[in-house]
Amino acid sequence: MRDDDGSWDEDVRLAVYHAFAHHGRAPSAPELADAAGGSLAVAKQALHRLAAAHHLVLDEREHVVLAHPFAAKSLGFSVMGTRTLWWGGCAWDSFAIPHLVEAEPEVLVATRCPGCGQPHALVVERAKPPEGAQVAHFLVPAARMWDDVLHTCANQRLFCCESCVDAWLAETGRARGSVLDLVTLWQLARGWYAGRLERGYRRREPDDAVAYFAEAGLTGPFWAPPAGA
């Protein structure tokens, strides 16, 4: 079904997200073409517009590499449901998947602490946050997250504790970002992508995003929108 402007963008967007949600992978070329009235060229044009609007991320070969909360390659997290195995885009995205995929209310999120290499496996469910001493460290402030979104996602990681965060920052020479406990990370993730698998989804405006962050307990300069937004 064409959009009001005559494009196939929404059908292509849904094809991307449904392929990830249901199969744990990006759509194939025939699937993309089917979503764009039978034309792969039209589908690729739609993909570029969707990437420009921050609905997804393409690599240099025009392949979808990120369609938050799903990734097409490992960025440090695997997310295992009863039916599907996904790559999570980051700690935030991995915790979001059971809230978005209706058929998977509980998943197993696996990763390693960047500070010491300790493996972690957490059961993340829709009903309540997981228990544990682990923390998430977000390196890139909210206003800059889309400057290099792959770098941003690769640096939203789970650590054993704040001591491991401090050790990793000292080793890498990076400045401290924002540290979230598991409850706050779960609260951030649970409603952020609501509606993304449905037709007509709209991304949050900056003010709406700030209000959402505040509801999760995340305030201050790190979580502020871009200047002038």
Counting residues of the chain whose pLDDT is more than 70, the rounded percentage is 98
Average of per-residue pLDDT values in the chain: 95
Rounded mean pLDDT, 128-147: 96
Query: Taking the alpha carbons of 70, 74, 76, 80 in that order, is the dihedral positive or negative?
Result: positive
Model confidence at 4, pLDDT cuts 50, 70, 90, reads low
Q: Does residue 229 lie within any of the structural domains?
A: no
Q: Does residue 1 lie within any of the structural domains?
A: no
Model confidence at 227, pLDDT cuts 50, 70, 90, reads low
Q: Are residues 168 and 141 in the same domain?
A: yes
Task: Dump pLDDT digits (tens) for 37-91.
Answer: 999 999 999 999 999 999 999 999 999 999 999 999 999 999 999 999 999 999 9
Q: Are residues 53 and 151 in the same domain?
A: no
Rounded mean pLDDT, 150-166: 97
Residue partners of 112: CB distance under 8 A and separation at least 6: 76, 118, 119, 120
Rounded mean pLDDT, 102-130: 97
Q: Does residue 3 lie within any of the structural domains?
A: no
CATH number (domain holding residue 15): 1.10.10
| Residue bearing the bigger pLDDT, 221 or 7 | 221
Q: Are residues 211 and 113 in the same domain?
A: yes
Q: Are residues 63 and 75 in the same domain?
A: no
Q: Are residues 55 and 158 in the same domain?
A: no
Query: Of 24, 52, 67, which closes a domain?
Result: 67
Q: Does residue 172 lie within any of the structural domains?
A: yes
pLDDT of residue 1: 72
CATH number (domain holding residue 152): 3.30.450.410
Counting residues of the chain whose pLDDT is more than 90, the rounded percentage is 93
The total domain count for the chain is: 2
Q: Does residue 207 lie within any of the structural domains?
A: yes
Query: Of 67, 95, 113, which closes a domain?
Result: 67
The predicted model scores a pTM of 0.94
Model confidence at 7, pLDDT cuts 50, 70, 90, reads confident
* Domain of 42, in residue numbers: 9-67
Query: Of 29, 46, 67, which closes a domain?
Result: 67
Q: Are residues 63 and 93 in the same domain?
A: no
Model confidence at 6, pLDDT cuts 50, 70, 90, reads low
Q: Does residue 2 lie within any of the structural domains?
A: no
Q: Does residue 14 lie within any of the structural domains?
A: yes
Question: Among candidates 114, 133, 86, which has minimal Cα distance to 177?
Answer: 114
Q: Are residues 150 and 205 in the same domain?
A: yes
Reply yes or no on whether the pLDDT at 3 is more than 90.
no
Q: Are residues 89 and 147 in the same domain?
A: yes
Residue 187 has φ and ψ, to the nearest 5°, of -65, -40
Q: Are residues 42 and 19 in the same domain?
A: yes
Q: Are residues 62 and 83 in the same domain?
A: no
- For residues 22 and 33, what is the distance between their CA atoms, to the nearest angstrom? 18
